[in-house]
Amino acid sequence: MTTEFAETSEIHRLVGVRVTAVAPGDKTVGMAWLDTASSAAGGTRIVNRITTSTTIDDTYDKVLVDASGGAVTVTLPAITRDGKVFGIKKVDSSANAVTIDGDGTEPIDDGLTATLSAQYEDVSICAELSTTKWWII
């Protein structure tokens, strides 16, 4: 699938590729988007869907969380550089919470966790190395 869109008078071509990775007892399906016009525009973006508590790393980018089977905790990686951003969204309508937890004692804004409780609620979280703090942006 190829999609074109105009952004500040530049044409960007996005190429979508379905990605399936299989590990023993686990199947992860995601979607990768490659902006072929500019690496500064973001390069490859990986969309992961998770249904159980997961510690994410730099290979994650956008995280869709389905907590219909029970509460899910998304644990952020240790901050190793400025500017890493994760987008995390609760996609199910259950009453089960999605908790976002900083690595160890790394805070998210002024707390150790952030919670998504409503369907389609989402956050973008950005790392700041000098303070070893995650910021909701």
The pLDDT of residue 109 is 96
**Which pLDDT value is given to residue 36?**
42
Q: Tell me which CATH code domain 51-137 carries.
A: 2.60.120.640
Mean predicted confidence (pLDDT) in 100-122: 96
Q: Residue 39's pLDDT is what?
A: 39
- Across the beta sheet with 98-101, the strand order is 54-55, 72-75, 98-101, 113-116
Q: Where residue 53 falls among pLDDT bands split at 50, 70, 90?
A: very high
Cα–Cα distance between 50 and 92 in angstroms, integer? Answer: 11
Give the type of residue at 81: R
The pLDDT-based confidence of 9 (bands split at 50, 70, 90) is: very low
Confidence category of residue 43, pLDDT binned at 50, 70, 90: low
Strands 133-136 and 98-101: unpaired
Do strands 72-75 and 54-55 pair parallel, antiparallel, or not at all (unpaired)?
Answer: parallel
b/e burial code for range 44-82 (CB count within 10 A of at least 16 → b): eeebbebeebbebeeebbbbbbbbeeeebbbbbbebeee
pLDDT per position as a tens digit, 30-42: 554 444 443 344 5
* Measured distance CA(11)–CA(85) in Å, rounded: 24
Work out the mean pLDDT of the chain and round it to a whole number: 80
Total residues found in the chain within this entry: 137
Q: CB atoms < 10 A from the CB of 134, how many?
A: 26
Q: How far apart are CA 67 and CA 56, in angstroms?
A: 16
Whether pLDDT at 84 is above 90: yes
| 37-48 mean pLDDT | 61
